[in-house]
Amino acid sequence: MPESVPQAVALPLAAGFLAHIGPAATWLPVVRRHLSPRLAGVGHPRHVALTFDDGPDPVSTPRFLDALDGLGARATFFVLGDAVVRHPGVVRETVRRGHEVAVHGWSHDRPWLPTPARDVRALRRAVEAVQDVTGAAPRWYRPPYGILTSGRWAAARAAGLRPVLWTAWGRDWTATASPASVRGTVEAGLGGGGTVLLHDTDRTAAPGSWRATLGALPDLVADWRAAGWTVGPLADHGTADRHATAPRVLGRAGAVPRRPPEQGRSRHG
């Protein structure tokens, strides 16, 4: 077979793959912060958006709802459609307690191959599941792993959802995560106006890793409030506006010093 034949096939395939996966470069913090602050979840500089991914989980999510009640804080929960249909009561309780429910997709898959029609169907199915259980249309979409392919962008537009990723995360899915490590990782790069990504379940993480996140929550919320920031869901974050005010960053010059982590607290505490 002439060399030009496979090359003629390979070049269009490569171009198609790049068109599919290229937008996923927004997974890189430096890309989205500079090119798309709204996608990064940059909102009002005196507010922090608290978000959780991968639920609902009948074991762990209620623990987070109780903790947030005790802290007087509300959050946005990005849920998976296949878990919503299995645990609708957890979703209803999330809404009853004043939290916002958003869409994380139907399942927690990696979109390496272009499947635009499937992307549209799956996201529409997830939106319908959330709407059937909560009685309200969801507003936000965060894809699994933060990978926004061209197909997922198109699916989000078709479903009337607004994609949003994050400005800081806690690396709380690892087996070595602890309340102190989650707190330190979040605050290393978080400023007012940021969106925080955490997880209320270990569905796609190390078993029991959610306990580290739960243990970190009280100190995180206390630190943010000490810095003069309010804490709440994306609905209260003002991400539709662009703010020129430079946010303070915890742990950096000019920030409110954070309290030292409590000693002796295990990641299962």
Sign of the Cα pseudo-torsion (54, 57, 59, 63, in order)? positive
- In the annotation, is 108 catalytic? no
Catalytic residue among 47, 53, 200, 223: 53
CB 80 within 8 A of CB 107: yes
Is the distance from CB of 39 to CB of 67 less than 8 angstroms?
no
Q: Cis peptide leading into 233, omega within 30 of 0?
A: no
- Catalytic annotation on 99? no
- Give how far Cα 31 sits from Cα of 27, 67, 112, 158, Å: 8, 34, 20, 25
Do residues 247 and 45 make contact, with C-beta atoms less than 8 angstroms apart? yes
Sequential DSSP letters for 215-262: HHHHHHHHHHHHTT-EEE-GGGS-TTS---SPPPBTTSTTSPPPPPPP
Catalytic residue, from 47, 104, 199, 237: name it: 199
Any idea which residues carry the catalytic annotation? 53, 199
